């Protein structure tokens, strides 16, 4: 069996759309957050590999699950996360939930409607934020806002990469009923430029994502840890900007990601705004 490390994409935390365990977080919190990120990146690379079979991927993800459970030591990132969670008295449920999403990716490549996509986000995105909140000892009452923001981030990623996901691994996260409602076809995702029908479907999904961002607008203010609150405010601001870009840009033919300078500028503005709110 191929080791999970052999399927690594080479992508790291600096390549993500949003900050991961940035210097804003307290030093004692960054290490456990990075342990979860490395575990998530390893599992994601397995699920998205273009050459491994579904059975091989599921076997590797199963080994990661067994390692988190403590019945196996087959996967190094999983061992590191298991030890980190034990040392910080953190629940393993978020890791198990995340693996459920990647296991789904090995067998499910279409989503019928928006609720089905949000259910996928329940496992692929929401556990990440919940884990970070747990690391900081935040109140579980913040989970609702976290879930809305994390789902929005996940959908934004799906919209940005809709063409690549379809062309590289045949996966379509865009709900089929939304495509059909606007007269778009799945095959439109393989074209060099989005059709007017696909653009209309994308705008529909952006509007739904904006509702999630409205629901999570008060998330940063509900977080007790000041540094984490600033990071969340930055992430929310970056997400809002990306939804605006997705309204006017074609993800099949145009760049819909932030450049480093642009991200820094938006992050600075968001951090300053959060600091002002924090003093209020």
Model confidence pLDDT, tens digit, residues 156-184 = 999 999 999 999 999 999 999 999 999 99
Do 220 and 261 meet the contact criterion of CB atoms below 8 Å apart? Answer: no
Q: How many domains are contained in the chain?
A: 2
- The mean of the pLDDT values for the chain is 90
DSSP summary character for residue 182: T
77/123 same-domain check:
no
140/199 same-domain check:
yes
Asked if residue 68 belongs to a domain, the reply is yes
Asked if residue 17 belongs to a domain, the reply is no
Tell me how far the alpha carbon of residue 66 is from its chain's centroid. 23
User: Which residues constitute the domain of residue 78?
Assistant: 24-96
88/113 same-domain check:
no
Per-residue pLDDT, 14: 47
DSSP summary character for residue 137: T
| pTM for the whole structure | 0.90
Distance CA 218, CA 276 (A): 14
pLDDT band at 151 (very low <50, low <70, confident <90, very high): very high
115/155 same-domain check:
yes
Asked if residue 7 belongs to a domain, the reply is no
pLDDT band at 25 (very low <50, low <70, confident <90, very high): confident
Tell me how far the alpha carbon of residue 163 is from its chain's centroid. 17
Distance CA 96, CA 126 (A): 12
Q: If DSSP codes are grouped into helix, strand and coil, which group holds residue 234?
A: helix
Per-residue pLDDT, 280: 47
251/168 same-domain check:
yes
């Amino acid at each position: 069996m191929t080791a999970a490390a052999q399927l690594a994409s080479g992508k790291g935390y600096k390549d993500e759309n949003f900050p991961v365990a940035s210097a804003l977080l307290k030093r004692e919190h960054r290490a456990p957050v990075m342990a979860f990120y490395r575990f998530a990146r390893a599992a994601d690379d397995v699920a998205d590999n273009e050459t491994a079979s579904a059975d091989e991927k599921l076997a590797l993800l199963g080994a990661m699950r067994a390692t988190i459970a403590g019945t196996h030591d087959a996967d190094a990132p999983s061992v590191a996360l298991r030890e980190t969670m034990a040392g910080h008295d953190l629940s393993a449920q978020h890791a198990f939930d995340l693996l459920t999403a990647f296991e789904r990716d090995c067998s499910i490549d279409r989503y019928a409607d928006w609720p089905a996509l949000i259910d996928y986000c329940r496992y692929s995105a929401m556990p990440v934020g919940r884990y970070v909140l747990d690391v900081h000892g935040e109140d579980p009452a913040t989970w609702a806002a976290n879930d809305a923001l994390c789902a929005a981030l996940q959908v934004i990623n799906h919209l940005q990469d809709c063409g690549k996901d379809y062309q590289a691994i045949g996966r379509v996260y865009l709900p089929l009923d939304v495509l059909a409602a606007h007269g778009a076809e799945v095959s439109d995702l393989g074209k060099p430029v989005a059709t007017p029908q696909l653009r209309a479907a994308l705008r529909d999904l952006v509007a739904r994502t904006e509702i999630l961002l409205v629901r999570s607008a008060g998330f940063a203010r509900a977080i007790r840890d000041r540094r984490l609150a600033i990071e969340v405010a930055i992430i929310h601001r970056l997400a809002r900007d990306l939804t605006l870009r997705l309204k006017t840009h074609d993800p099949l033919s145009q760049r819909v990601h932030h450049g480093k300078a642009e991200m820094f500028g938006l992050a600075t503005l968001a951090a300053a705004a959060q600091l002002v709110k924090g003093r209020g």
